[in-house]
Structure 1
Amino acid sequence: MINIQQIHHVAYRCNDAKETVEWYQDKLNMDFLVAIAEDQVPSTKEPDPYMHLFLDAGQGNILAFFEIPNSPPMGRDPNTPEWVQHIAFQVADEKAMLEAKAELQAKGVDVIGPTEHGIIGSIYFFDPNGHRLELTYVKGTAEQMKQLKEVAPAMIEEWAVTKKAPKHAAWLHEEEFTP
């Protein structure tokens, strides 16, 4: 039986490995852990030089990037809105999120938010590769999280049939979000 312990790393493509490392070190205070470079892809044996870098995203979480200079320039899926694909990092609380927003803005980063999601609050911004990032803090109660888990199966079933937003958790974005 498969027993996932945690995500070891999530890997994305970057335009420039050095610029990416420096941006994450400067803007998000991440530690640069490891760099691996090869002329051949280990899994497929394809001749394709790459730089693979790993950054400490806290609590054993690792954010990784590949620079692959022999491939066409990276782009986004034009059919997917920018806000959909993103990496969310958790901070301690609202104060930490607002302090991070001020720090990012002082470092020249454009920040959207804060945005209220009922059980979490978030801010959003982009890295130099065009990847959308989110800093979020959890404020939902155990009861709210329990209710969301309970309605999740019914919501996915309704969505599968109607492709319209089920209202089981509409309280998340209402002024008073206590279910």
Structure 2
Amino acid sequence: MALQGVHHVAYRCRDTKETVEFYQQALGMDFMLAISEDRVPSTKEEDPYMHVFLDAGNGNVLAFFEIPNSPPMDRDRNTPSWVQHLAFQVDSLDSLLAAKSHLESMGLSVVGPTNHELFQSIYFNDPNGHRIELAANTSTPEMLKKLKEIAPQMLEDWTASKRTVHHASWLHEKEFATH
């Protein structure tokens, strides 16, 4: 099997129209299509839904389901809110800062930029509470090569101990040294 990319990523939303408008206005996404049915095609369950698709650029598609007959949306309370998120790439640090200004002008609370050494990011939430990250790459080919080389050993060491492994601590050493 040879995967050709992510076809789409789907999340739940509280209000389809509000969600589509948010992604159009906040991130400039194009509203591609909508599908609405009374029965889930894969499971044959009776459960009316609206399914919308937005163009996230470069063939990437972000989709949402509004399912009004289900219990209200919630999130996994056992998972910290910073863990589950959608991350979109922007082309430069200037674009990242411009996006931050735009989002703040919409009244959104934006965290960052945060320097991850490989990239810098800002974070905010959509109207459904989904955490969104915008990232501008700042890595070098040498950095990525080094990280790829140590990744298998990091995974093995983590699996054996379930404790922080420090093979890539150089990514944040400068940041923590200044605090």
| Distance of 2:118 and 2:28 partners within structure 1 | 26
**Could you tell me the percent identity over the aligned residues?**
62
| Distance of 1:43 and 1:24 partners within structure 2 | 27
What secondary structure, in the 3-state scheme, does the structure 1 residue paired with 2:36 have? strand
Q: Which residue identity does 2:142 align to in structure 1?
A: E
Equivalence for 2:68: 69
Q: Which residue identity does 1:17 align to in structure 2?
A: T
* Aligned counterparts, 1:21-36, within 5 A: 21-36=20-35
Equivalence for 2:150: 151
What secondary structure, in the 3-state scheme, does the structure 2 residue paired with 1:35 have? strand
TM-score w.r.t. the length of structure 1 is 0.96
| Distance of 2:164 and 2:45 partners within structure 1 | 44
| Distance apart, 1:174 and its partner CA | 1.9
Equivalence for 1:171: 170
Equivalence for 1:10: 9
| Distance apart, 1:175 and its partner CA | 1.7
| Distance apart, 1:107 and its partner CA | 1.0
| Distance apart, 1:141 and its partner CA | 0.4
| Distance apart, 1:115 and its partner CA | 0.4
Moved over 6 A (4+): none
| Distance of 1:169 and 1:4 partners within structure 2 | 28
| Distance of 1:92 and 1:20 partners within structure 2 | 24
| Distance of 1:66 and 1:99 partners within structure 2 | 30
Equivalence for 2:123: 124
What secondary structure, in the 3-state scheme, does the structure 2 residue paired with 1:104 have? helix
TM-score w.r.t. the length of structure 2 is 0.96
Q: Which residue identity does 2:138 align to in structure 1?
A: K
Aligned pairs, how many?
175
Gaps of 5+ in 2: none
| Distance apart, 1:164 and its partner CA | 1.2
Gaps of 5+ in 1: none
After superposition, the CA RMSD in angstroms is 0.8
Equivalence for 2:86: 87
| Distance of 1:47 and 1:77 partners within structure 2 | 25
| Distance of 1:150 and 1:120 partners within structure 2 | 19
